[in-house]
Chains A and B, each alone.
Chain A
Amino acid sequence: MATTTTTVPSAGPVVGSRSFLSRLRDGDEIARMITFLFAASVVLVTLLLVFELWQGSVLPRHKFGFNFFRTSVWDPIFDQFGALPFIYGTLVTAGVSLLIAVPLGIGAAIFLAELAPARISDTLEFFIDLLAAVPSVIYGLLGVFVVVPLMRVYIQPALKSTLGFLPLFQGPAYGVGFLTAGIVLAIMVIPYIISVSREVLLSVPRDQREAALSLGSTRWESTWKVVVPFARGGIMGSIFLALARALGETMAVTMVIGNNPIVSASLFSPGYSIAAVIANELTEATSNLHYQALIELGLVLFILTFVLNGLARLLIVATSQKGSGMGHA
């Protein structure tokens, strides 16, 4: 992005050739060192975070190795820790949330970028930004008192009577569970998909649309077959970003998933997620191994979000550069 401007002030011949001493006298060198210390502390803190997660999970990594991810007995009393139910729950709820949020989010982004007049688009985007600012505990509050009863009384019985032959929709309707957590997560990540996808779609050069329209395609065909494929990378990026948020989301999920460590094919079943088990057990860990097993779960979460966020950033930057490159050509 911004690589050229950094050298601007020192590019002047006078400034560049001044001696270290005179820069020190002007205070430049001191200011540089002080601000450098602050900047370096950011790196330091981040390194320390990675170190703590790695060092803090030595015991279970050595004791259980890869079995940590394959076994599903989580028993603090006998010091047996298998994280499969938590990993399963995290992936299933995130998967459900994407199934709902991706079509809705991309649809809304297309409307905002392609159809809506600029003023309406900006106003709606303002609301979407506000929606992204709603804290997760508020989503949890509404989840507990609105979504859970709604699921138990209406949605789950309806799904059971229509699609009940699928193993996905069997078992008693508790209200809480994988499906409910997935729905609440979907509502939470939609704003991220919309904001980023809208930006990416807006960066698609105008000629692309005009060329498609002039060849006789309808408005939708030009959008769906030309504009969206052009922006595909960036839209994928927005989805990865949303996935990373969904995987790491704690409060709302903890409040509606049911906190029951099992692996079940039914989406109605109460489950558990990585973030939820950390939130519930970290301060009450009974043994050192228990505590460290929770930190290892934190490490897993960290690595997952790290990879997804990195991929998302690459895709989004690549797509907007593609757009601006074409625009100037």
Chain B
Amino acid sequence: MQEKIIFLADLFKNQALGGAELHDDVVIKYFEKKEAFYEKINCHLVTTEYIEKNLDKIWFISNFANLSFTSIALLSKKAKYVIYEHDYKFIDVRNPIHFKDFLVPKRNIINYNFYRNAKKVICLSKMHRKIFQDNLNLENIVNINCSMWSDEDLSLFEKLQHSNNQKDLFAVIDSPNPLKKTKETIVYCENNSIPYELIKSKKYTEFISILSRYRGLIFRTNHPEPTPRVAIEAKMLGIKFLSQKHLISVAHEDYFDLKGLAMIECVRKMRENALKKISKWCNE
């Protein structure tokens, strides 16, 4: 890599432990290792002056809900940037579920030229990309095939392969975040006589360890998930993953039938391929 990268996101791993932040951290570490990393900055701290000072860098833009409209405009006008998309920020309501076949009426589309002027818009799976492509019809939309995990995290999944404490219950994520649909999932389990327990932890490794003790994970969602990470995490642990297939993007990937060590190895290989692709896309 020749040009240095500024990594832009609403939040980073040290500020929140969401899927996007965990995923982004793997990419940041990769840029650091390749000595391509300049710095990371929260979107709300970006000013037009900061942009003007750093036009010689490549901007790697992850979640940008807190990026000011003028910064979006100026980046579009002057900067070389890649958008690393974790959801659907081309839609004013940020969720295509409201529209038949996920085809969004033109009047609901926003940020059109921000996406158009990007070197690449990187989606996280084939289905995620298709939704972007069907709506924006741009030539710069590409995809990787999965979220990413660090080697440390993958080692954890390896260690937890044969947990002796298998509970004959399904886990349901206990979260106050309405997007996580805890209440709806409970109702779903009760209506379908699925034995379940609520699980939670603020520590990622602890959460995964807890999850490994269950027969499977019940996951309900109300938007087409670009991956989601927990689907692959359940698969890497070798436990069942039950959800609405039409809303789970990775369920449409070729590798989704894998589980346990085979899935871990596949995720590792996909990560290496994805990072090489990202590096190439940044420098094109």
Check if A and B associate. Answer: no
